[in-house]
Amino acid sequence: MPMDKVCSQCSASFEITDDDLAFYKEIAPVFNGKQFPIPSPMQCPACRLQRRLLFRNERKLYKRNSGISRKPMVTMFAPDNPYKTCSQEEWFSDTWDPMAYGKECNFSHPFFDQLRALNLAVPHPGLNNTNVENSEYTNYALNQKNCYLIFGAADNEDCLYGKFVIFSKNTTDCLSVYSCEWCSEGVASQQCYGCHYFLNCHNCSDCFMIEDCSGCKNCIMCFGLRQREYCILNKQLTREEFLSQKAALYPLTSQKIGRMQQQLNELQKNLPHIGSHIYASEDCTGDAIYNSKGCKECFDINHCEDCHCTAFTPNGVSSYDSTYSAPDGVQWCNNVTCTIGHRCLGTYMCWYTNDVYYSINCRQCDFCFGCVGLRNKKYCIFNRQYTKEDYEVLAGRIAEKMTAAGEWGHFLPPDLSHFAYNETIAQEYFPLTREQALALRFRWRPEDAILPDAKKTIPGEQLPDTIGNIPDDILHWAIICSATKKPFRITKPELDFYRRMELPVPRLHPDERHRLRLAKKKPYRLWNRTCAKCQKPIATSFAPDRPEIVYCETCYLSEVY
Ligand SMILES: [Zn+2]
Ligand SMILES: [Zn+2]
């Protein structure tokens, strides 16, 4: 029987379906011949997502010395962070032994107190990058060449200032884009070329300021178009008309771009929006879903099957509450983040791990419980080696104790995160004030003041308007962000990009530009609404009080084609 539940954090109601209960039954681990049932969640899907995201600091990077070699390094651990850290090379080397931190399980102490102590004692890698070349200031990145300030990204070359950028080249300032080239300010889009300021677009080229378009070429300020060329504000023009109106927009300035955005906003007010952006998929709910099947309440997923409440995940199979798995994916996992593996539960940063529970930063491990920083191990508990038989008995006793304490089956408690709430991406998707974060017992860290280090400082609003008037000397200036007053620099590859694309130099700090792109993406939660045309019920990430006209997929497609 489906159950209605009330979230223990935000009091929202949410439903546990029969499918959910069947899943929890199916994945419940067996130790020493006894199955330990997974209870249904206590928080709503959004609060669960928030609790997983607060384990991941992508973009707050600091200078600090390694806890092993004392060498200076760039790391996501602030100098005042109580956790130990070292460079990735040191972490993967044999100069230290995580098993030296091993402890016997103490059944008179709570499980998480013991895991907390181990988490504080064992060093953690300062960054999480794999195969990155000439790409300083990247984190959670895989296969990057010549990239700068790129986070949570894979397989890119010459990309600057981006998050969740995949298979792309020569893009700057993008969020959640796949296979884009020579683009900037793109959000939630795929296969675009030479496009700037675009949202929810596919297979478009040489377009500027477009949303919900696919297969378009040479369009400016358009919304919801399919396979069109030479349109401005959704009006079909001749090639000559288009070129002369486009020429009148150049040279571009930040003010002109702002006015173009306003015109596009005005235009789309009266046009229908699709309730969810789901492509080449079957029986899915959520947003930004590609090539997936049977996935519910999922966001930013690709090639997933039967996943629920999963986000930022490629190649997930039958997993619930998973975030940020890499291309090798997750299978039969529950309540995991930054994890790749099979049948894992309550893990953070565990890669190529199978049957691993409540563990942090483990690699290539099987059958481990409550471990931190292990590599190539089997049958370990609190970083101590056991025989298979002893492991089974002990793991069963711990699961039983955790069940009695109401901890078993849920995610890691927030205070096991290595970072303050506002250092992590939870703050990007679920922004809180300091007071709100502290009230939820999340940690908070005051922002460091950044002093400009440059021979000249210039307020963003005093930058020359057009790219043609920007001197090479700008590379030596500190620009003061027009919105946040934070200083920032322009790099040579960036300046070359703006010149080639005839774009003005930004007046806002990269963090502020990132924040504005995040605001263009809808929230990572679903509401029940009805289609504005046929009144069919739909689950959509357009909140009920939003002004847009929202259609179901069938009504939307009959309108745009
Ligand atoms: Zn909630
Ligand atoms: Zn409809």
pLDDT tens sequence across 305-347: 999 999 999 999 999 999 998 888 999 999 999 999 999 999 9
Mark whether 514 and 533 lie in a shared domain.
no
Residue 265 reports pLDDT greater than 90: yes
Which H, E and C letters describe 67-127, residue by residue? CCCCCEEEECCCCCCCCCEECHHHHCCCCCCHHHHCCCCCCCCCHHHHHHHHHHHCCEECC
Name which of 524, 520, 529, 523 is nearest 549 in CA terms: 529
CA of 538 to the centre of ligand 2 (A): 9
Radius of gyration of the chain (CA): 25
Residue 452 reports pLDDT greater than 80: no
Would 179 be classed as within a structural domain? Answer: yes
Mark whether 541 and 488 lie in a shared domain.
no
CA of 508 to the centre of ligand 1 (A): 33
Name which of 257, 255, 251, 188 is nearest 220 in CA terms: 257
Q: Quick one: which ligand is closest to 46's CA?
A: 1
CA of 389 to the centre of ligand 2 (A): 58
Residue 136 reports pLDDT greater than 90: no
Domain of 548 in residue numbering reads as 527-560
- Residue 216 to residue 242: CA distance in whole angstroms: 14
Would 199 be classed as within a structural domain? Answer: yes
Residue with tokens 């709910």: 285
CA of 294 to the centre of ligand 2 (A): 21
CA of 44 to the centre of ligand 2 (A): 27
Give the residues across from 65 on adjacent strands. 72
Q: Quick one: which ligand is closest to 555's CA?
A: 2
CA of 413 to the centre of ligand 2 (A): 41
CA of 503 to the centre of ligand 2 (A): 40
Residue 395 reports pLDDT greater than 80: yes
Would 185 be classed as within a structural domain? Answer: yes
Contact residues for 123 (Cβ-Cβ < 8 A; gap 6+): 67, 68, 84, 85, 86, 90, 91, 96, 373
CA of 417 to the centre of ligand 1 (A): 19
Residue with tokens 């571009």: 252
CA of 533 to the centre of ligand 2 (A): 5
- Residue 122 to residue 85: CA distance in whole angstroms: 8
Residue 491 reports pLDDT greater than 80: yes
Name which of 156, 199, 197 is nearest 176 in CA terms: 199
CA of 275 to the centre of ligand 2 (A): 10
Do residues 251 and 466 lie in contact, with contact meaning Cβ atoms separated by under 8 Å? yes
Q: Calculate mean pLDDT across residues 107-113.
A: 97
Q: Quick one: which ligand is closest to 550's CA?
A: 2
- Residue 472 to residue 89: CA distance in whole angstroms: 37
CA of 288 to the centre of ligand 1 (A): 22
Q: Quick one: which ligand is closest to 552's CA?
A: 2
CA of 44 to the centre of ligand 1 (A): 4
CA of 128 to the centre of ligand 1 (A): 29
CA of 406 to the centre of ligand 1 (A): 18
CA of 551 to the centre of ligand 2 (A): 5
CA of 75 to the centre of ligand 2 (A): 49
Phi, psi (5° rounding) for residue 48?
A: -65, -40
Chain-centre distance for alpha carbon 400? 34
Which H, E and C letters describe 487-518, residue by residue? EECCCHHHHHHHHHHCCCCCCCCHHHHHHHHH
What tens digit of pLDDT does each residue of 534-549 get? 999 999 999 999 999 9
Q: Quick one: which ligand is closest to 551's CA?
A: 2
Contact residues for 212 (Cβ-Cβ < 8 A; gap 6+): 199, 200, 201, 223, 224, 273, 274
- Quick one: angle between helices 111-121 and 388-404, nearest 10? 120
Q: Quick one: which ligand is closest to 440's CA?
A: 1
- Residue 460 gets which letter from DSSP? G
Burial of 492 (C-beta count, 10 Å sphere; 0-12/13-18/19+): exposed
Q: Quick one: which ligand is closest to 5's CA?
A: 1
- Residue 234 gets which letter from DSSP? T
Percent of the residues in the chain that have a pLDDT greater than 90, as a whole number: 95
- Residue 92 gets which letter from DSSP? T
Would 114 be classed as within a structural domain? Answer: no
Mark whether 543 and 515 lie in a shared domain.
no
| Mean pLDDT of the residues in the chain | 96
Residue with tokens 């791990």: 353
pLDDT at 454: 80
CA of 559 to the centre of ligand 2 (A): 10
Mark whether 252 and 183 lie in a shared domain.
yes
CA of 553 to the centre of ligand 2 (A): 7
Do residues 559 and 272 lie in contact, with contact meaning Cβ atoms separated by under 8 Å? yes
Q: Are strands 360-363 and 345-357 parallel, antiparallel or unpaired?
A: parallel
Q: Calculate mean pLDDT across residues 73-98.
A: 96
Residue 382 reports pLDDT greater than 90: yes
End-of-domain residue from the set 223, 249, 274? 274
pLDDT at 450: 78
Please tell me the total count of domains within the chain: 4
CA of 191 to the centre of ligand 2 (A): 28
CA of 32 to the centre of ligand 1 (A): 35
Query: Which pair of tokens denotes residue 32?
Result: 């020493």
CA of 42 to the centre of ligand 1 (A): 9
Confidence of residue 159 (pLDDT cuts 50, 70, 90): very high
Query: Which pair of tokens denotes residue 209?
Result: 């300021």
| pTM score | 0.95
Would 60 be classed as within a structural domain? Answer: no
Count helices and strands in the chain by DSSP H and E runs:
12, 39
Q: Quick one: which ligand is closest to 538's CA?
A: 2
CA of 325 to the centre of ligand 2 (A): 34
pLDDT at 525: 92
Would 218 be classed as within a structural domain? Answer: yes
- Residue 466 to residue 460: CA distance in whole angstroms: 13
pLDDT at 153: 92
Q: Which residues of 434-450 are buried (b: 16+ CB within 10 A; e: fewer)?
A: eeebeebebbbeeeeee
Give the residues across from 296 on adjacent strands. 308
Confidence of residue 453 (pLDDT cuts 50, 70, 90): confident
End-of-domain residue from the set 259, 274, 289? 274
Q: Quick one: which ligand is closest to 273's CA?
A: 2
- Residue 415 gets which letter from DSSP? G
What tens digit of pLDDT does each residue of 213-258 get? 999 999 999 999 999 999 999 999 999 999 999 999 999 999 999 9
CA of 274 to the centre of ligand 1 (A): 26
pLDDT at 449: 83
Q: Quick one: which ligand is closest to 531's CA?
A: 2
- Residue 470 to residue 504: CA distance in whole angstroms: 9
Confidence of residue 430 (pLDDT cuts 50, 70, 90): very high
- 3 state DSSP class of 103: coil
Neighbours of ion ligand 2 (CB under 5 A): 531, 533-534, 536, 552, 555
Mark whether 537 and 497 lie in a shared domain.
no
Residue 48 reports pLDDT greater than 90: yes
- Residue 340 to residue 348: CA distance in whole angstroms: 10
Contact residues for 192 (Cβ-Cβ < 8 A; gap 6+): 177, 180, 181, 183, 186, 198, 201, 202, 203, 204, 205, 207
Query: Which pair of tokens denotes residue 479?
Result: 């620009």
Query: Which pair of tokens denotes residue 103?
Result: 């402890």
Handedness of CA 12, 18, 23, 26 (dihedral sign): positive
Q: Quick one: which ligand is closest to 6's CA?
A: 1
* Helix then strand then coil, % of the chain, to nearest 5: 25, 35, 45
Do residues 307 and 297 lie in contact, with contact meaning Cβ atoms separated by under 8 Å? no
Would 18 be classed as within a structural domain? Answer: yes
Would 478 be classed as within a structural domain? Answer: yes
CA of 520 to the centre of ligand 2 (A): 24
End-of-domain residue from the set 248, 274, 300? 274
